[in-house]
């Protein structure tokens, strides 16, 4: 049975437990593992950016999607390895996003950003190492999934980065509030944020589905398509809430500088549509995401609760 949730309190407990599980696994690899010792400055910068911070929402989604389609614990460790890859990709994107040539932010996860703590060259190189290791880990550290499955996961994450985050970041850096178009901002949010969230959802679902013996009436292809749509819908909603929080929250709660988007004349949802309309857009996307879940022939209450958390989050 998929994890049972009876109330909002349960989802908070679930998210905390899963975050601890992922944090422990990250520490096991990057603190206890003996591959990450010299040069010390590089691995210290990686550990600084990767450990002790972040909601781990992408990894939590990956694990939850796996758990939704497959209760078999056999592939859980491989799924956790993929979560580490996802966190490496996500954290490196935050390091590079904070660089002076990009968003130029001094604060991340409540601490000086990586380039402020370690210098720009080390921050760039730490990011480069993290991105490459994300793929190396799937190739080397997964034990129960097949070689074609490893390739599929590597391909999904590589595509999300090369055809998602990077083009999304380029468009984001060029877009200003003068370019007020719903289509344009939706494309930027899909690329820079939703594609990695979609990839995280897909990785979990694929590890779970491809390692099941039972043949369901609905084909795996159709189930995967619905996971894909679900990932994009919650991913864009996640970015809208991120934009809203930049306007409505404070630096302490966010752990990053609030009000930056307005200062940089950024093209964001609340700066274009206002907070209320943006909130409504996010809610509509979550409704769409839940209708995607209805098409998935498994118990999706856990994923539905995570979707609600995404629009109700405060940081």
Which C-beta is closer to ligand GRG: that of 53 or that of 220?
53
Distance, CA of 187 to CA of 213 (rounded, Å): 38
Which C-beta is closer to ligand GRG: that of 62 or that of 223?
62
Least distance in Å: CB of 241 to ligand GRG?
Answer: 9
Residue 277's alpha-carbon distances to 218, 254, 280, in angstroms, are 37, 22, 5
Which C-beta is closer to ligand GRG: that of 89 or that of 296?
89
Least distance in Å: CB of 145 to ligand GRG?
Answer: 25
Token duo for residue 92: 């490196």
What is the residue-wise DSSP string for 140-178?
A: HH--SS-HHHHHHHHHHHHHHIIIIIHHHHHHHHH--TT
Angle CA(39)–CA(45)–CA(47) in degrees, nearest 5?
Answer: 100
Distance, CA of 98 to CA of 77 (rounded, Å): 32
Which C-beta is closer to ligand GRG: that of 127 or that of 231?
127
Instruction: Tell me how far apart the terminal alpha carbons of the chain are, to the nearest angstrom.
Output: 30
Contacts of 259-266 with C-beta under 8 Å, sequence gap 24+, read 260/103, 260/105, 264/103, 265/176, 265/177, 266/172, 266/175, 266/176, 266/177
Which C-beta is closer to ligand GRG: that of 190 or that of 192?
192
Which C-beta is closer to ligand GRG: that of 152 or that of 172?
172
Distance, CA of 154 to CA of 227 (rounded, Å): 18
Which C-beta is closer to ligand GRG: that of 50 or that of 79?
50
Least distance in Å: CB of 287 to ligand GRG?
Answer: 21
Distance, CA of 223 to CA of 228 (rounded, Å): 9
Query: Would you mind telling me the total number of residues written for the chain in this entry?
Result: 315
* Pairing state between β 107-108 and 111-112: antiparallel
Least distance in Å: CB of 294 to ligand GRG?
Answer: 26
Q: Among all residues, whose Cβ is closest to ligand GRG?
A: 54
Least distance in Å: CB of 97 to ligand GRG?
Answer: 4
Enumerate binding residues for ligand GRG (CB under 6 A).
53-55, 57, 90, 93-94, 96-97, 102, 109, 127, 165-166, 169, 192-193, 239, 242
Helices (H) and strands (E) in the chain, counts: 16, 2
Least distance in Å: CB of 245 to ligand GRG?
Answer: 9
Least distance in Å: CB of 59 to ligand GRG?
Answer: 10
């Amino acid at each position: 049975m998929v994890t049972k949730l009876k109330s909002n309190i349960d989802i908070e407990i679930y998210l905390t437990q899963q975050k601890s599980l992922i944090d422990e696994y990250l520490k096991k690899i990057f603190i206890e593992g003996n591959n990450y010792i010299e040069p010390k400055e590089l691995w210290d910068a990686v550990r600084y950016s990767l450990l002790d911070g972040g909601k781990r929402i992408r990894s939590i989604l990956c694990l939850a999607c796996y758990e939704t389609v497959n209760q078999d614990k056999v592939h859980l460790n491989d799924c956790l390895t993929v979560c580490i890859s996802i966190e490496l990709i996500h954290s490196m994107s935050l390091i590079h996003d904070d660089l002076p040539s990009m968003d130029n932010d001094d604060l991340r996860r409540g601490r000086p950003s990586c380039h402020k703590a370690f210098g720009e060259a080390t921050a760039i190189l730490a990011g480069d190492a993290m991105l490459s290791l994300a793929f190396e880990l799937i190739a080397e550290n997964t034990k129960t999934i097949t070689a074609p499955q490893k390739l599929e996961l590597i391909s999904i994450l590589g595509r999300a980065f090369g055809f998602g985050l990077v083009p999304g970041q380029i468009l984001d850096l060029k877009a200003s509030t003068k370019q007020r178009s719903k289509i344009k901002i939706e494309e930027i949010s899909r690329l820079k944020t939703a594609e990695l969230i979609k990839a995280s959802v897909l990785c979990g679902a694929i590890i779970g589905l491809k390692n099941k013996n039972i043949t369901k009436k609905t084909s795996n292809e159709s189930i995967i398509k619905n996971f894909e749509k679900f990932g994009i819908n919650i991913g864009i909603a996640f970015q809208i809430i991120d934009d809203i929080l930049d306007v409505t929250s404070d630096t302490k709660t966010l752990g990053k500088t609030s009000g930056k988007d307005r200062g940089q004349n950024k093209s964001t949802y609340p700066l274009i549509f206002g907070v209320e309309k943006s909130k409504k857009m996010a809610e509509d996307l979550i409704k769409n995401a839940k209708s995607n879940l209805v098409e998935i022939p498994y118990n999706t209450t856990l994923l539905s609760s995570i979707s609600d958390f995404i629009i109700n989050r405060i940081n």
